[in-house]
Chain A
Amino acid sequence: MTDNTADLWAWLYAEADDQTPVWADVTCVAVVEPTAHADVTACLAALEASDVQPDRVVIGSVEADLDADWVWLLSATARPAPDALRHLLTAVERHPEFDVIGPLLIEPRRRGPGVMISQFGQTLSAGGRLRGLVEPGELFQGQLETTDALGVDACGMLVRGSTWKQLGGLNDTLPPSHRGIDFGWRATLAGARVAVEPSAHVVDRSPEPDGGDARAAGLALAAGHQRKGLGWLGRAGLVLGSLLAALGYLIGKDPHRAGDELTGLWRWLTDSRLRASVAAGVAAVAASPEALARAKALRPARWSGLRRVAEAATGRFSSWLATFTERGHTVGLDEMTGDDFAPQGTTDPRLSALLVGLVATIALALAAGRSLFGAGSLQGSQLPAAPSGWLDLIGDYLTRVPGGASLTPTPWAGLFGLASFVTAGRPDWLASAALLGCVPLAWLAAFRWFRQLLASATVAGVAAFCYALLPVLSGIVNTGSLAAALWTVLLPIAAYSATHWVARPSWRGAGVLGLWSLLACAAFPLLWVVVLGLAVIVGLRRGRWGQLAVMAASPLLVLVSPWATTLVAYPGRLVTGIEPSLAPTAALPPWDVLLGRGVAAGAPPLWLSLAVFGTFWLVALAGALRRPRWAGPAFVVATVAAVVAIALGRFVVWVPPGAWARPQPLAWIVVMGGALVCAAAVGLDGIGGELRGATLGLRHLGTLSVVVALSAVVVLGAGWWVVAGQSELSRGRVSSVPAFVSNAQVSATPGRTLALEIREGQVAWSLQQDDFVRLGDIERGPVLSGDPAAAALAASVVTRLTAGSADDDLLDDLVTLGVSHVWLGGGSPALRTAIGNTPGLGVGTGDDASTVWPVPESGRAVVLGESRTLVGNGGEVPVGRTVRLAEAADPDWWATVAGQPLAQVAAGEPGQSFDLAGRSGPLEFGLRQPVPWWAWLQALGLAVLMVLAAPSLTRRPGGDVARRVDAPQRVEAAAPRRAFGGEA
Chain B
Amino acid sequence: MRRVIVVSIAVLAAAVAAALALPVQQPPVAVTADDDIAISLLCQSFKAASAEVTVAAASTGEGLRTASLSRPDRVDEPGGVAVLRDRAEPVVVTVPRSAASGGVSVVAAQAGPERGLSAATCLAPVTEQWFAGVLANPSAQAQLVLANLDSTEAAVDVTVYGRSGRLSVAGSRGIVVAGNSLTTVSLAAAIAASDAVTLHVASSQGRVSAALRQRSWEGTTPLGAEWLPTAVAPARSLVIPGIPAGPGSRELVITNPGDRTASVNVDLLGTSGRSDIAGLEEVEVPAGATRTFDLTNGLAEQPGGLRLTSQWPITAGIRGNSATEPAQRDPFLLAALEPVGSDGQWPVPVGRQAGVEVLLSNPDTADARVAVGSGAGPADEVVVPAGGSVVVPVRAAATPLVRVKGAGTQVRAAVVASRMVGDVRGLAVVPLVALASPAEGLPIVYDPRTGA
CB-defined contacts of B30 to chain A, threshold 8 Å: 795
> By the criterion CB–CB under 8 Å, are A632 and B445 in contact?
no
| B2 close to chain A: CB less than 8 A | yes
Q: Give per-residue flags for A617-652: 1 if the beta carbon is below 8 A from chain B beta carbons, else 0.
A: 000010011001100110110011011001101111
> By the criterion CB–CB under 8 Å, are B448 and A766 in contact?
yes
Given known A-B contacts A639-B12, A799-B34, A736 and B4 have beta carbons under 8 A apart: no
Given known A-B contacts A758-B442, A764-B450, A795-B446, A632 and B5 have beta carbons under 8 A apart: yes
| B126 close to chain A: CB less than 8 A | yes
> By the criterion CB–CB under 8 Å, are A628 and B5 in contact?
yes
Quick one: which of B11, B15, B24 has the most chain A CB within 10 A?
B15
> By the criterion CB–CB under 8 Å, are A594 and B25 in contact?
no
Complex Cα spacing A796 to B444, Å: 10
> By the criterion CB–CB under 8 Å, are B1 and A753 in contact?
no
> By the criterion CB–CB under 8 Å, are B24 and A587 in contact?
yes
CB-defined contacts of A115 to chain B, threshold 8 Å: none
| B170 close to chain A: CB less than 8 A | no
B442: nearest chain-A partner, CB-CB: A763
Complex Cα spacing A777 to B206, Å: 38
* Distance (whole angstroms) from the CB of B178 to the closest CB of chain A: 14
Given known A-B contacts A594-B16, A639-B12, A762-B444, A796 and B32 have beta carbons under 8 A apart: yes
* Distance (whole angstroms) from the CB of A757 to the closest CB of chain B: 5
| A318 close to chain B: CB less than 8 A | no
> By the criterion CB–CB under 8 Å, are A762 and B39 in contact?
no
Q: Which of B207, B443, B445, B448 contacts A833 (CB 8 A)?
A: B207
Quick one: which of B15, B126, B446, B450 has the most chain A CB within 10 A?
B450
CB-defined contacts of A782 to chain B, threshold 8 Å: 448
| A702 close to chain B: CB less than 8 A | no
Quick one: which of A633, A736, A762 has the most chain B CB within 10 A?
A762
Q: Which of B150, B437, B438, B446 contacts A766 (CB 8 A)?
A: B446
Q: Give per-residue flags for A249-293: 1 if the beta carbon is below 8 A from chain B beta carbons, else 0.
A: 000000000000000000000000000000000000000000000
CB-defined contacts of B40 to chain A, threshold 8 Å: 806
A831: nearest chain-B partner, CB-CB: B438
* Distance (whole angstroms) from the CB of B139 to the closest CB of chain A: 36
| B127 close to chain A: CB less than 8 A | yes
Complex Cα spacing A162 to B449, Å: 89
| A313 close to chain B: CB less than 8 A | no
| B376 close to chain A: CB less than 8 A | no
B-contacting residues, A737-788, CB 8 Å:
737, 753, 755-758, 761-766, 768, 772-773, 777-778, 782
B-contacting residues, A785-820, CB 8 Å:
792, 795-796, 798-800, 802-808
Number of A-B contacts (CB under 8 A): 189
> By the criterion CB–CB under 8 Å, are A795 and B32 in contact?
yes
> By the criterion CB–CB under 8 Å, are A839 and B150 in contact?
yes
Given known A-B contacts A640-B8, A766-B448, A804 and B39 have beta carbons under 8 A apart: yes
CB-defined contacts of B1 to chain A, threshold 8 Å: 628-629, 632-633
Complex Cα spacing A581 to B444, Å: 16
Complex Cα spacing A660 to B24, Å: 14
* Distance (whole angstroms) from the CB of A543 to the closest CB of chain B: 26
| A585 close to chain B: CB less than 8 A | yes
| A550 close to chain B: CB less than 8 A | no
A836: nearest chain-B partner, CB-CB: B206
Q: Which of A585, A761, A823 contacts B27 (CB 8 A)?
A: A585
Q: Which of B12, B446, B451 contacts A737 (CB 8 A)?
A: B451
| B151 close to chain A: CB less than 8 A | yes
> By the criterion CB–CB under 8 Å, are A804 and B8 in contact?
no
Quick one: which of B5, B9, B25, B124 has the most chain A CB within 10 A?
B5
| B110 close to chain A: CB less than 8 A | no
Q: Which of B11, B124, B445 contacts A762 (CB 8 A)?
A: B445
B26: nearest chain-A partner, CB-CB: A652
CB-defined contacts of B22 to chain A, threshold 8 Å: 650
CB-defined contacts of B11 to chain A, threshold 8 Å: 639, 643
Complex Cα spacing A667 to B60, Å: 50
CB-defined contacts of A807 to chain B, threshold 8 Å: 38
Q: Which of B38, B97, B127, B447 contacts A765 (CB 8 A)?
A: B447
> By the criterion CB–CB under 8 Å, are B19 and A830 in contact?
no
Complex Cα spacing A640 to B28, Å: 29
B2: nearest chain-A partner, CB-CB: A628
> By the criterion CB–CB under 8 Å, are A765 and B444 in contact?
yes
| A411 close to chain B: CB less than 8 A | no
CB-defined contacts of A384 to chain B, threshold 8 Å: 448-449, 452
| A192 close to chain B: CB less than 8 A | no
Complex Cα spacing A772 to B447, Å: 13
A579: nearest chain-B partner, CB-CB: B448
Q: Which of B2, B28, B33, B207 contacts A632 (CB 8 A)?
A: B2
> By the criterion CB–CB under 8 Å, are A766 and B203 in contact?
no
A377: nearest chain-B partner, CB-CB: B452
Given known A-B contacts A766-B446, A804-B437, A755 and B4 have beta carbons under 8 A apart: no
Q: Give per-residue flags for B31-56: 1 if the beta carbon is below 8 A from chain A beta carbons, else 0.
A: 01110011110000000000000000
| A346 close to chain B: CB less than 8 A | no
A-contacting residues, B193-239, CB 8 Å:
203, 206-207
CB-defined contacts of A762 to chain B, threshold 8 Å: 442-445
A585: nearest chain-B partner, CB-CB: B27
Complex Cα spacing A652 to B437, Å: 32
Q: Give per-residue flags for A640-680: 1 if the beta carbon is below 8 A from chain B beta carbons, else 0.
A: 10110011011110000001111000000000000000000
* Distance (whole angstroms) from the CB of B22 to the closest CB of chain A: 7
CB-defined contacts of A830 to chain B, threshold 8 Å: 126-127, 438
B127: nearest chain-A partner, CB-CB: A833
Quick one: which of B8, B152, B203 has the most chain A CB within 10 A?
B8
Q: Which of A581, A628, A660, A736 contacts B28 (CB 8 A)?
A: A660
* Distance (whole angstroms) from the CB of A263 to the closest CB of chain B: 55
Q: Which of A385, A590, A766, A800 contacts B447 (CB 8 A)?
A: A766
* Distance (whole angstroms) from the CB of B379 to the closest CB of chain A: 26
> By the criterion CB–CB under 8 Å, are B12 and A642 in contact?
yes
Quick one: which of B2, B126, B444 has the most chain A CB within 10 A?
B444
Complex Cα spacing A735 to B27, Å: 29
CB-defined contacts of B452 to chain A, threshold 8 Å: 384-385, 734-736, 755, 766, 768, 772-773
> By the criterion CB–CB under 8 Å, are A802 and B451 in contact?
no
| A421 close to chain B: CB less than 8 A | no
> By the criterion CB–CB under 8 Å, are A795 and B12 in contact?
no
Q: Give per-residue flags for A579-606: 1 if the beta carbon is below 8 A from chain B beta carbons, else 0.
A: 0011001010111001000000000000
B-contacting residues, A10-46, CB 8 Å:
none
Complex Cα spacing A763 to B206, Å: 23
Complex Cα spacing A763 to B444, Å: 5
* Distance (whole angstroms) from the CB of B374 to the closest CB of chain A: 29
Complex Cα spacing A582 to B25, Å: 18
| A825 close to chain B: CB less than 8 A | yes
| A952 close to chain B: CB less than 8 A | no
Q: Which of B19, B28, B207, B438 contacts A802 (CB 8 A)?
A: B438
> By the criterion CB–CB under 8 Å, are A652 and B27 in contact?
yes
Complex Cα spacing A587 to B127, Å: 41
CB-defined contacts of B437 to chain A, threshold 8 Å: 802-805, 834
> By the criterion CB–CB under 8 Å, are A590 and B126 in contact?
no
CB-defined contacts of A823 to chain B, threshold 8 Å: 451
A833: nearest chain-B partner, CB-CB: B127
Q: Which of B25, B37, B446 contacts A650 (CB 8 A)?
A: B25
CB-defined contacts of A833 to chain B, threshold 8 Å: 126-127, 203, 206-207, 438
Complex Cα spacing A804 to B94, Å: 13
| A837 close to chain B: CB less than 8 A | yes
A-contacting residues, B62-97, CB 8 Å:
97
| A695 close to chain B: CB less than 8 A | no
> By the criterion CB–CB under 8 Å, are A736 and B34 in contact?
no
Q: Which of A385, A628, A662, A763 contacts B445 (CB 8 A)?
A: A763
CB-defined contacts of A587 to chain B, threshold 8 Å: 24
- With A594-B16, A758-B439 given, can you name 11 additional A-B contacts, CB distance below 8 Å? A384-B449, A736-B452, A766-B447, A768-B451, A773-B452, A792-B33, A795-B444, A799-B32, A800-B37, A802-B437, A834-B438
The 7 lowest CB-CB distance pairs between A and B, nearest first, are A755-B451, A628-B1, A660-B27, A802-B439, A831-B438, A772-B452, A639-B8
